[in-house]
Structure 1
């Protein structure tokens, strides 16, 4: 079901030509900064993978992958990727990357089950990245260090685009605020997870919510996560709270709501994978190629995530709809409503 937010008194700051140039500059500048901050090398990524290998991501665990038969492989099926969390970890092993270094790639995906709107499209473009870590780095403190570096690259990119287009004013908070999803529930016990995200992000501007996927004190998850990439059950010694992953959110005063720019985390090790598969009753996945590799401990420990390219451009160019940044398919009614208020979808 599609849903359109209509910003009050919306007016696009940039025309189509300026927007396209801005998109190019943001994408080139940010990925160079991300690569430098995290010591990542660029690699080429697949658009699709073989079905039944356990390589494609299940995201929340409910989305259907777009699939098709391959004539020259005896009609074996391929799936268009949802994201590349598991593929990247296999690639780290293949390239024999040392701890402290990693990879990034342009990830293009199709998510047929997305509810279309200002922030959600059938087409997804991300910078997917993954970095090898040591056992000692599987902590909340190390996760925070990586988040701070990524946020620094975002702030530099914002400064660049404000220099390029002086009519766009800086808005990102100087620092990012960290909070665990359980602490957020304690602060706003009467709000839904989305309402809690909006409240905390409006208050601080830029927030990283730690611990996404594990059940909280109310018996519910802040949001769902698949059991086989992020580690959302390991308890951090410094906090006593479960979860070594999280979401990076920024307040968008155009849409007057929080926008998730990145989902990332320390990945499951053997112990966490077994625990999370059991918790979600998906232990049959242990027979899949990726999971066997992880359980055999032939894959490196890692941290990784995805950063939305179109969302970052949308935010920095002060757009009200992701369709002003990328070409996709939208309900005709949505196109007409957007045109009425000055949001011209590509």
Structure 2
């Protein structure tokens, strides 16, 4: 229960039937806009992959993947995906997607180690996307241009919802603010990373924090990132490391920074070798995904994930992700949410 934020005086802006309608509107409209903005085509994605291929996302490296034996394959172990960060890049190659185009898919995952609360559930649903890029585009300006296109889709979706439900007033700024995690550290040297996110997002309402995973000048990281998909060591703007980042929106219901997307330019061979060495994960070079990347059979790409339930939660002004998706919650949390007029599905 320590992770349940209790917004004072919370009342759902729209009822349960309107909420379901709103979820449908957001999901249909946003994915169409995202596809058009980034030139993406929809593909079918796996719910699970074989262990030992290197295709599953390792997140911060400590989360356990839900797994099960496959009887008809000699009890070979399958893992429910954490995300599709590496699978998408293989798919770009296998589908021969041209430069400047990409793919997106509905990613569904189970993350058993999540700390459950208003914004974290056992069930994760997001739009995973990946786009082929050129060597000349491996820079911070290109990353920012893609972020701006995604943010444009956010603004269009917010307008749609405000037109459909007049009770919901737009709150996003016209433009998103960019800041590097090192600059954020210099601005707020006495605050923790989460506290820095709080201050900068509260100020600007929509922020892209660059350089997630790289070591900062104080010897720590803003946040962890796996070493084999995002490039967090290549120098970008002002010589600071990192060609990746997180999109943060200010949540007006919970009064917290709200991460809705993690994304970035993906590692090339040089960045992969460097980041595996930094993290002591060189043994991964024996895995299927890593071998293909080193041998040069995977395209350069940029990609990320955008939380579906989180976007719906934000645009529909909900206090709990359980108002958007069906999941498992403790009886204690269900009882407490009921008292707060938070209707968990």
Shorter-chain TM-score above 0.5: yes
* Displacement of 1:239: 1.7
Q: Which residue does 1:276 correspond to in 2? A: 275
Q: Which residue does 1:105 correspond to in 2? A: 105
* Displacement of 1:26: 0.3
Q: Which residue does 1:201 correspond to in 2? A: 201
Note closer, same or farther for the CA distance 1:187–1:288 as it changes in structure 2 (3 Å cut): same
Residues 144-159 of structure 1: matches in 2 within 5 Å? 144-159=144-159
Correspondence 1:315 to 2:314: yes
Q: Which residue does 2:14 correspond to in 1? A: 14
Correspondence 1:93 to 2:93: yes
Name the SS of the counterpart of 2:238 in structure 1. Answer: coil
Query: Aligned partners of 2:278 and 2:267: how far apart in 1?
Result: 14
Contact residue 2 and residue 115 of structure 1 kept, 8 A: no
* Displacement of 1:253: 1.3
Q: Which residue does 1:216 correspond to in 2? A: 216
Query: Aligned partners of 2:330 and 2:266: how far apart in 1?
Result: 37
Q: Which residue does 1:335 correspond to in 2? A: 334
* Displacement of 1:307: 0.1
* Displacement of 1:3: 0.9
Query: Aligned partners of 1:188 and 1:297: how far apart in 2?
Result: 41
Query: Aligned partners of 2:140 and 2:329: how far apart in 1?
Result: 39
* Displacement of 1:2: 5.7
Contact residue 39 and residue 101 of structure 1 kept, 8 A: yes
Query: Aligned partners of 1:2 and 1:44: how far apart in 2?
Result: 38
Contact residue 89 and residue 302 of structure 1 kept, 8 A: yes
* Displacement of 1:318: 0.3
Query: Aligned partners of 1:61 and 1:305: how far apart in 2?
Result: 18
* Displacement of 1:91: 0.1
| Structure 2 portions without partners, runs of 5+ | none
| Structure 1 portions without partners, runs of 5+ | none
* Displacement of 1:22: 0.3
Correspondence 1:249 to 2:248: yes
Name the SS of the counterpart of 2:36 in structure 1. Answer: helix
Per the normalisation by structure 2, the TM-score is 0.99
Contact residue 2 and residue 116 of structure 1 kept, 8 A: no
Name the SS of the counterpart of 2:239 in structure 1. Answer: coil
Q: Which residue does 2:63 correspond to in 1? A: 63
Aligned residues: 345
Query: Aligned partners of 2:155 and 2:90: how far apart in 1?
Result: 31
Query: Aligned partners of 1:44 and 1:239: how far apart in 2?
Result: 39
